[in-house]
A and B are shown apart, each in its own frame.
Chain A
């Protein structure tokens, strides 16, 4: 009887894996010839492979899994994980191909305002002016590549944990939604994907989180949703502030307006050239603030940051890694895509506000870190602190500051998943997150201790690792813009080193010849991390070194983007004023 069941199940597995992989292979082969081409002769690599495919594939896998009898849960989980990882690696292949020019020859370093590579526009909801408009530029491509690199690494790191069969497909869906945010060039689409990212994360926290997961998931969802709703108000206001265009009405758009970001950017640029504030300075300021609130909650910036520690502490490792690695960057991305591009005069007016919030986040965040005893809360607050640097970079109103802030988004996006992988492994193997609960981890878990030290050092800005490039570029621009206020970030550098070193002293080191194990381990032998966890962390570590030693791979395109932004609109605004 039991043998019979096993035979059926193995066939089912085999059929699933083989079938899906075969379909994917066929799709990949056929795709270039059936895909749409744009005016520049490029194939649409974005819409189907990077956005639609992971979402649909993830949904299909989950539907398939839900149709299986419950007793097969653990067995079906393995092939589903495998397929998810393969799909994620395919996406990584595509985005790396775009990066290195294997798929299309694209010069990412070209600096132009409001110009995008792989730009595709499909009309969608013509009656209200919504189109499926996607494109990549120096700002968004680094975020897209970051997402495609993190999804498989997250899957690999959490391979062994018993997560059931929904976990990995959910991560896949999350990846698709995130990429959707970064490629969207239409406000409607942008908002849809922005909110769409909340849903998989909500379920990740709710289903696989810690003890207080219900509270944390709710708080995370409602808090960030509230910020997003204010942003929605801004989007709708912006929509209706456009002058109604007869040409669009003739085309069938009932309102005569469009949600398209690129059209609005053209309008903003024309106004700046004419020395007029686009939409009027007061409306611009109001819009800026509405959008800013949504982005500040997401970033997160003090005082809208308190959802983050709870979310991180309760979230499972994969959730934390993605949350810190990519989701937070949506806030920074939005600031660049919307606030600097469309509302430059307001940006100039509110430079002081960004400086203040950024500085408070940076300095206050680091002091709060110093007072934490929970490892994940400590790392969460360090994220708050580092995101402050992004605001400071924007506040400098220098191309170097902008490029540095974007690079900080990127570098933090590689380093902080490593930090959370370490914290997650810590919790997983030692069953506690209290910093004072143990000593001498280096003796018993040398691999975990090594990655912890590596990640901690990367996060405090050790040169030849990615974080240093971000910090030094922002600081150079910061001195030029604000002079001796740079002492405050300087103090933060010291405090950051202090809390990281203190937490290492109290966990990895000391403990005498045998180390002191936490009570939560209950006398069991001290574990080291598994090969899967080592692999994931090692990949992140190697990427950190790679972008620390060869930062130009992405920094050049960020410099190009910043140059285009300034050349296209900001120089006019700074010089002329509105």
Chain B
């Protein structure tokens, strides 16, 4: 541990130092063959840097897991800002510092972040550099990518809320820059602004929450604010308000209702950006923040004070999960489906955290730890799976683009980016039958979807069961009646997830190609398969993590991971998942678990198969593990196909196409309230305030020109004035006398 710790600061510092270097080199060497070729316009540097960060992270993690229990604070730099405040007539001195904090949660997120940053960097080497529209501007991409990675890694390692906030904002900046990467498109520029402003609203709430927190504790250091004695000494009501404000910040960053509107538009950015920022890392920042509120809820001194906040968190999660899944039903764009899926799955984690926080605050420590662990594990699984899904969708889009160029070329059309606007390579109604043409991508997408849906034994299953179980346990516990809503919502959403994820897969990969472009797709871009295969293995290996008692380890600061007991661990998890437990309400929970499995694995995908399944084109052969899936879908469709046109044309569907109108409301609020107010202020300033000044100017000039008329230049007038003046003086003197 000692060796790794010394270098730990380099984990975020390396990328932040490489950021201006890539910008500078890119500007100087832009257009040269070597820069484009071997250096991949900075991609090589980015991959090497992220690889180094990953290596350092793993070294740190191995050392930590092997040798440390609890947490470790390292590398304190004491006086970044030191100042004084007046307290009771005295001056008290305070300061902010910077250090790193390692515990189970931060170690887990460190791994997730550095691993995915590295894999997505590799992905970008293939995706970005082989697209001619990105030529000579990839250095900007890689530089901003590295700055973002530095922000995420810094946030995960920071040991106080101030630096968490600082890195949080840095990530927001990079999100803005990267969403607007294709800035020449008005839609991209608009989406970037929307993302920044929406998260800014959340950030202001977070900032105010931190101000309140500082004023309660006199510090924002984790070691100070989580100390039991300090928590016991502060006012519960004020602390609750602070936590609520911080939660709103998390809502903004993790795209939950009602600050969710930016995430679908964020798909304007290149696919690696969607994979990294909007699936695997930045949106997890909000969850990380809420996870860091756990000690406050678990504190015995605050027992029972924060239950309504916990229930609110669970409700926001439940509502968002359901709403996002519903909107995903009608999406045609493959990336938008994944965006809404992200929103929905993050909402799951919020529900799980809400349940965990509720249990913690009502004194049920053991269940709280389980629920918390399940939520964190779901974060882990989701990040891996969703990152992979976005990369896979990127692979599809990329090859569709290629194929479109081929087709257009053959027809003699001029090749240019503008032509692609007519053909949407992201529209799933242009795809179909790609299972045989893109085996690696199809597999990755199948495994990732299975993880998200929660197919038993694959990655996300283990964590999703934990969350659904926790929510139901909460609503069955005395005092937890309000949790029924979220519990029901996540249950129903499980089935909906099964449907829309399967719909996405079958529309893209099963059936016959719907356009000639889809027919001409070939999986040929280098670098892309590497992260896809790696993450497929990771996702399938979720069962192994479960066997390590990962859930328990991540939640309990003093637990240890038992690597040697993997098999028995797996056995324990399996029995926990599939057999009813003897605890209170065990039977009902078991029923719920089974119901969840049935609707998410059978009802949801089955309905999708009935609508969108189909045999591949004649002569096409998919890999065996895909072929059975395709032929199953064909059989289901043949026997159960029903007409969904009444649903598809209904008013509800129309609303869903309009994203349930939230975006339109927010836009019109801006246009109808804020902008006219601003224009009124500008008018007021120019005409009233400055008008007063201009009035004085004008008045004084007019006054002056009136008085000037006294100087007539005529001697007679002056003599008369002198005479009148003398007379007046005599009268005054006589009057006084």
Contacts and interface: CB of A to CB of B under 8 A. Distances in A.
Contacts of B736: none
A185 to B, nearest CB: 25
A65 interface: no
Given A368-B685, A475-B207, A502-B193, A464 B214 contact: no
B65 interface: no
A501 B193 contact: yes
A574 interface: yes
B180 A509 contact: yes
Interface in A508-534: 508-513, 515
A511 B188 CA distance: 11
Contacts of B211: 475-476, 478-479, 486
Contacts of B201: 494
B79 A552 contact: yes
B719 interface: no
Given A368-B682, A479-B215, A505-B190, A512 B86 contact: no
Interface residues of A, number: 68
Given A367-B677, A510-B183, A555 B81 contact: yes
A571 B84 contact: no
A238 interface: no
Contact of B689 (A303, A400, A463, A559): A303
A177 to B, nearest CB: 26
Interface in A336-395: 364, 367-372
B678 A509 contact: no
Interface stretch (A205-213, A265-273, A562-570): A562-570
B208 interface: yes
A223 B693 contact: yes
Nearest to A576: B89
Interface string A426-467: 000000000000001011001000000000010000111000
Contacts of A509: 180, 183-184, 188-189, 192
Nearest to B682: A371
Given A501-B193, A551-B80, A462 B86 contact: no
Given A468-B166, A475-B211, A559-B82, A443 B184 contact: yes
Contacts of B167: 463
B215 A398 contact: no
Nearest to B675: A370
A306 interface: yes
Contacts, number: 164
Contacts of B80: 551-552
A258 to B, nearest CB: 31
A57 to B, nearest CB: 37
A501 B200 CA distance: 12
Contact of B83 (A367, A400, A479): A400
A575 B184 contact: no
Given A364-B681, A462-B169, A493 B200 contact: yes
Interface string A461-496: 011100011001101111110000011001101110
Given A223-B693, A468-B166, A510-B184, A493 B204 contact: yes
Given A473-B83, A563-B91, A511 B184 contact: yes
A551 B98 CA distance: 13
A interface, by DSSP: helix, strand, loop or mixed? Answer: helix
A370 B674 contact: yes
A483 to B, nearest CB: 9
A132 to B, nearest CB: 34
A37 interface: no
Nearest to A549: B80
Contacts of B697: 219
A513 B182 CA distance: 10
Contact of A486 (B197, B208, B690): B208
Interface residues of B, number: 60
Between A371, A397, A508, the greatest number of chain B beta carbons within 10 A of the residue's beta carbon is seen for A371
A462 B689 CA distance: 32
Contacts of A311: none
A468 B163 CA distance: 12
A497 interface: yes
A176 interface: no
Between B81, B185, B697, the greatest number of chain A beta carbons within 10 A of the residue's beta carbon is seen for B81
Contacts of A473: 81, 83
A92 interface: no
B173 interface: yes
Interface string A224-266: 0000000000000000000000000000000000000000000
B222 interface: no
B85 A372 contact: no
Nearest to A450: B23
B170 interface: yes
Contacts of A464: 166, 170
Nearest to A508: B183
Given A370-B674, A510-B189, A563-B84, A490 B208 contact: yes
A403 interface: yes
Nearest to B241: A484
A498 interface: yes
Contact of B189 (A371, A493, A505): A505
Nearest to B172: A462
B86 A398 contact: yes
Contacts of A571: 86, 89-91
A441 to B, nearest CB: 10
Contacts of A497: 196-197, 200
A563 B85 CA distance: 9
Nearest to A550: B80
Interface string B456-483: 0000000000000000000000000000
A493 B89 CA distance: 32
A442 B91 contact: no
A270 B316 CA distance: 60
A414 B735 CA distance: 66
Contact of B173 (A397, A440, A462): A462
A368 B681 contact: yes
A513 B418 contact: yes
A515 B183 CA distance: 10
A514 to B, nearest CB: 8
Given A464-B170, A475-B207, A505-B189, A494 B678 contact: no
Given A371-B682, A571-B89, A487 B208 contact: yes
A446 B30 CA distance: 13
B208 A371 contact: no
A399 interface: yes
A463 B184 contact: no
B91 A399 contact: yes
A302 B683 CA distance: 15
Given A501-B196, A510-B184, A566 B84 contact: yes
B649 interface: no
Interface string B87-106: 00111001000000000000
Given A468-B166, A508-B183, A510-B189, 14 more contacts: A223-B693, A306-B689, A368-B678, A368-B682, A457-B173, A475-B211, A478-B211, A490-B205, A494-B201, A498-B197, A505-B190, A512-B185, A552-B79, A571-B89
28 contacts: A219-B697, A303-B689, A306-B689, A371-B682, A372-B682, A398-B85, A446-B27, A463-B166, A464-B166, A476-B215, A480-B215, A486-B208, A491-B204, A493-B203, A494-B200, A497-B196, A497-B197, A501-B196, A502-B193, A509-B188, A509-B189, A509-B192, A512-B184, A512-B185, A551-B81, A559-B84, A567-B91, A574-B89
Give the top 7 A-B pairs by smallest Cβ distance, nearest first: A371-B682, A370-B678, A509-B189, A463-B166, A371-B678, A509-B183, A306-B690
